[in-house]
Amino acid sequence: SQQGEEDPQALSIQEGENATMNCSYKTSINNLQWYRQNSGRGLVHLILIRSNEREKHSGRLRVTLDTSKKSSSLLITASRAADTASYFCATDLMNRDDKIIFGKGTRLHILP
């Protein structure tokens, strides 16, 4: 069963705009990770944010985590065509080593 649920399921924006994707989860976690997947191939790790962190940045990516609402957001600023991909949030389950559970993903399409 899925622990995380991404919203929206799909998103199309113009190149240069910002893209925001949200993730909600059900149970307490140690950390939350965001991954990108191009054309149904392997997953690329983007950011890991721990449960005691509220915000994290990596280049054009900004991730927030609100454990009280059991939700996270991924912001991609100044989007580029190469950002077109599916984005997944993945959570571990507190006290369950290393098993991570994925949501269904957000399909992001950057329009030229």
Partner 1 sequence: DAGVTQSPTHLIKTRGQQVTLRCSPKSGHDTVSWYQQALGQGPQFIFQYYEEEERQRGNFPDRFSGHQFPNYSSELNVNALLLGDSALYLCASSLYGAGGNTEAFFGQGTRLTVV
User: Residues 11, 111: contact at Cβ < 8 Å?
Assistant: no
Rounded distance, CA 46 to CA 3, Å? 19
Q: Does 35 bind partner 1 (CB under 8 A)?
A: yes
Among 59, 82, 97, 112, binds partner 1 (CB under 8 A): 97
Among 42, 59, 69, 112, binds partner 1 (CB under 8 A): 42
Coil, helix or strand at residue 59? coil
- Interface mask toward partner 1 for 44-73; x: CB under 8 A: xx--x-x-----------------------
In the range 1-30, which residues lie near partner 1 by CB under 8 A? 1-2, 4, 29-30
Q: What is the signed CA dihedral for 81, 109, 85, 33, rounded to 10 degrees?
A: 110
Among 65, 71, 105, 110, binds partner 1 (CB under 8 A): 105
Q: How many CB atoms lie within 10 A of CB 97?
A: 7
For every residue of 18-55, DSSP letters joined together read: -EEEEEEESS--SEEEEEEESTT--EEEEEEEETT-SE
Q: Does 83 bind partner 1 (CB under 8 A)?
A: no
Contact residues toward partner 1 (CB under 8 A) are: 1-2, 4, 29-31, 33, 35, 40-45, 48, 50, 88, 90, 92, 94, 96-105
